Structure 1
Amino acid sequence: MSVSQGESAAVSHDERVVREFSKQAAGFADPRLNVAFTRHLDRLVRFMDPELDTEDVVLEVAAGTALVSRAIARRVRHVTALDLTPAMLAEGKRAVDREGVTNVTFAHGDATALPYLDRSFTLVVTRFSLHQVADPGAVVAEMARVSRPGAALIIADLVRPDGLPGDPDRIERLRDPSHGTMLTEERIAELIAAAGAEVKRRETFDFVRPLQPWLELAQTPDDTAAQIRKELEKELTGGPVTGMRPSEVDGELHFTQTYTFQQAVAG
């Protein structure tokens, strides 16, 4: 894991995650800044729809502000939204209170050591977390452990396409020092299998998103944001490949990310 300039190597990955996402918490409610989360939330809910049941007891792992929990709460019996960052949980709690949702519980905890007994939930979901954590295999294994036999496991994440040139993780870490490593679609499926679950469905797609709101959401320092912008602009004119697949849309700099949704069944 890279360490930002001037930062002590003694700072743990979890501490970086809490620090960065505490800054970002308020922005998660802004559809302009959080376009990737908000635009594809409905798509994820549609992907999850065949697995949702009014009797489901659901766990959202690394839930952030509980966008998924809030979107499905009225379709299931109960949802627990667990996250490492208290500021994210506080934003989510304020949102459910405003919306009058009463069956979502918020819990502070580590996705790699879930504070629940085996076989506690009938559906477990995580969204945009595996590329962020230090040990994605431990997260998937814990999700499987707390799932009842036959429960649905839903993983939605940012992934690296096979054969992609450049190093997009480097740019991602410049923007947000808590970024970990993007896995491939196949690697996520391997982690699911290693946890004793079986992938049943997948949906993978590209998303072209504007650069500026992405930088603003992370509150990337101006000098670092300028460096990222410069590298992407150079790539457009034949410079070194960054792995970010930059483009211009209506005169504004954009880049491309790839997302995968995978649904598995717990053993």
Structure 2
Amino acid sequence: MPQPAPAVQRSGGPIAPHLRRLLEFVEPGREDVCLDVARGRGPMPAALAPQVRHVTAVDAMPEPPARADTSGRMSTIEFGTGPVRITGDGGPDGDRPAAATTREDRVRHPIGPDRPTIKADATALPYRDNAFSLVTARFSLYTLGDPDDVLRELLRVCRPDGRVIIADLVRGNLAGPERDRIERLRDPDHPGTPSIARLTEMITSAGGSIRRLDVFTVERPIEPWLAGACDDAAADRIREALLDEVDGGPKTGAKPRVIGGELWFTQTWAHVAAEPIP
């Protein structure tokens, strides 16, 4: 029988339920030497630090283009169930990247207020092979360069008996393209949401063996998510499409509904645990 979730603390109080779910999936151990690769400064290093021996945080956010003015762990696949409800702006678009440090640093540092996140290229990480027992990438795989190259690097720096944890948005294997239309209205550069099968295929093609899989539905209010829309007109078009669906109109794939007078929508998230294939 599943055990109650532990109360995991971060500076400022308990962490959000969706991040706690990811930490439980990761199964951090006291002897783990961890690498987190993120776009900007994500929440994983601070959440992992109290539970492991060492954490290295890499900010692999690509430089913007120049423009004018702008061990007892499970060894078989398991399928989790949801849903998870997020009441604020948590999630992939809620992790606002902080200003990246420009320090060229090849030495691993513990996570703390006086320790900057290391700036590095996710497709050419400055670490030797098999350097880490735990490697994590949360909602960043498709924004750090070619995802196949990123996956090969994450697996390269992971020990043969370690694990790579990928957390990202997915769509069901039978889902249509409607959902990406909404995502691209919000962000014209959105790379598209992979199917669950496509994500796992990419990991195995890069040299990983899938060990565990947790796929679940997240329901969240629309307004914090729309705060990241490219412009107000795009946000209005998304609201209109979702409200139209609530009233029986065309499907968007977002499964919207009105809760307490507020418009909510759904996303599908996946946590994947893989091991490098020797």
Is 1:224 the counterpart of 2:234 in the alignment? yes
What per-residue deviation string (whole Å, max 9, x for no partner) do you get for residues 104-141 of structure 1? 65111232332322222111011112344552222211
Give the drift of 1:204.
0.8
Indicate which of 129, 145, 154 corresponds to 1:118: 129
2:97 aligned to which of 88, 92, 98? 88
1:130-167 Cα distance to aligned partner (Å, 9 max, x none): 34455222221111011121111111111011222342
Deviation, structure 1 residue 200: 1.1
User: Counterpart amino acid of 1:44?
Assistant: L
What TM-score do you get using the length of structure 2 for normalisation? 0.72
Cα shift readout 1:204-243 (whole Å, capped 9, x = no counterpart): 1101111011112x15422111111011111222322222
> Residues 103 and 261 of structure 1: is their aligned pair in 2 closer, same or farther, counting only changes over 3 Å?
farther
- Unaligned runs of at least 5 residues, structure 2: 1-10, 64-95, 102-110
Match of 1:252 in 2: 262
Mapped partners of 1:191, 1:114: distance in 2: 19
Give the conservation status (yes or no) of the 8 Å contact 2:255–2:266: yes
Q: Name the aligned partner's letter for residue 190 of structure 1.
A: E
- Contact 1:73-1:101 at 8 Å conserved across structures: no
- Equivalent of residue 112 in structure 2, options 64, 79, 101: 101
Q: Distance in 2 between matches of 1:171 and 1:244?
A: 8
Q: 2:173 aligns with which of 146, 162, 175?
A: 162
Q: Residue 184 in 1 paired to residue 162 in 2?
A: no
Q: Secondary structure at the match of 1:65?
A: coil
Does structure 1 residue 200 correspond to structure 2 residue 211? yes
How far does residue 65 in structure 1 lie from its aligned partner after superposition?
Answer: 2.1
User: How many correspondences in the alignment?
Assistant: 224
CA–CA separation in structure 1 for the residues paired with 2:263 and 2:123: 36
Partner of residue 65 from structure 1, selected from 27, 41, 46 = 41
Q: 1:169 to 1:204 in 2, by over 3 A?
A: same
Match of 1:19 in 2: none
Q: What are the within-5 Å matches in structure 2 for residues 134-173 of structure 1? A: 135-173=146-184
Residue 30 of structure 2 is aligned to residue 54 of structure 1: yes
Report how far residue 63 of structure 1 moved. Answer: 4.9
In structure 1, the gaps of 5 or more residues are: 1-28, 32-36, 93-99
Q: Describe the SS at the equivalent of 2:236.
A: helix
Instruction: Report the 3-state secondary structure (helix = DSSP H, G, I; strand = E; otherwise coil) of the residue aligned with 1:88.
Output: coil
Question: In 1, distance between residues paired with 2:262 and 2:130?
Answer: 48
Superposed CA deviations along residues 176-200 of structure 1, whole A, max 9, x for unmatched, are 2342121112222112211222111
Cα distance in 2 for partners of 1:83, 1:104 equals 13
Correspondence for 1:43 = 21
The amino acid across from 1:78 in the alignment is H
TM-score by length of 1: 0.74
Name the structure 1 match of 2:253.
243
Distance (whole Å) between structure 1 residues aligned to residue 174 and residue 141 of structure 2 = 20
Are the counterparts in 2 of residues 202 and 263 from structure 1 also a CA contact under 8 Å?
Answer: yes
- Could you tell me whether the CA contact under 8 Å between 1:126 and 1:156 is conserved in 2? yes
Report the Cα distance in structure 1 between the residues aligned to 2:142 and 2:25, rounded to whole angstroms: 20
Q: Is contact 1:77–1:103 with CA below 8 Å preserved after alignment?
A: no
In the aligned structure 2, how far is the partner of 1:235 from the partner of 1:243? 10
Q: Is the 8 A contact 2:37 2:60 kept in 1?
A: no
Maintained 8 Å contact 2:39/2:143: no
Question: Is structure 2 residue 85 aligned with structure 1 residue 76?
Answer: no
